[in-house]
Amino acid sequence: MKRKFTSHHGAVMVEPIIVLSFFAIISVFLLRMFASTEKVRSGAEKMSKAVIRAESAIEYVLGSSEANGDPESIGFQMANDGRGYIKYYDKNWEETQTAGKYVMTLEVESEKTAAGEMLNYRVLVSETEEKKEIYALTAKKYKSGGRGE
């Protein structure tokens, strides 16, 4: 009687191939995740800078004693349509005099009432090229009138 000896070396090599295939598939998903985090990070940074600039502008005009908040004193220019004020920023969020990567607009509307005047402010920060809104902020300021003020 003859005995046959069989070798299981082929089966031993299948296990590492399966494990390596598993890690290769997982690494594709991890690389995609890491690539998308940069996009999320840059979007969050853009939003953060826009919020800081918009809040700063609103706080200034709300604290100003001028009727419209005196936006020119903080770098705003009168918009071409005459309805509001405009301020430009470059890609590093530094103020510029001409159109840059970002633009902040400030609109002031006035409502006359019997007891005074309600000023409505709206600040909008957006990207210049894409016309994509990044952040919008509104505020109201009451100016009393009629009693010598």
In the prediction, which pLDDT does 10 show?
61
Residue range(s) defining the domain that contains residue 129: 9-144
Whether 14 maps to a domain, the answer reads yes
Whether 123 maps to a domain, the answer reads yes
Residue among 11, 142, 148 nearest 67 (CA): 142
Whether 39 maps to a domain, the answer reads yes
In the prediction, which pLDDT does 8 show?
59
pLDDT in tens, 124-138: 999 987 788 999 999
**The amino acid at 94:** E
- Give every residue of the chain whose pLDDT is below 70, as ranges: 1-11, 67-68, 145-149
Output the CA torsion sign for 37, 42, 48, 50: negative
Whether 2 maps to a domain, the answer reads no
Whether 1 maps to a domain, the answer reads no
- Residue with structure tokens 């709300």? 62
In the prediction, which pLDDT does 119 show?
87
In the prediction, which pLDDT does 11 show?
67
Q: Which residues contact 5 (CB under 8 A, 6 or more apart)?
A: none
In the prediction, which pLDDT does 47 show?
93
Q: How far apart are CA 96 and CA 115, in angstroms?
A: 40
Whether 134 maps to a domain, the answer reads yes
In the prediction, which pLDDT does 62 show?
87
Whether 3 maps to a domain, the answer reads no
In the prediction, which pLDDT does 6 show?
61
Whether 93 maps to a domain, the answer reads yes
Cβ count within 10 A of residue 93: 16
Q: Domain total for the chain?
A: 1
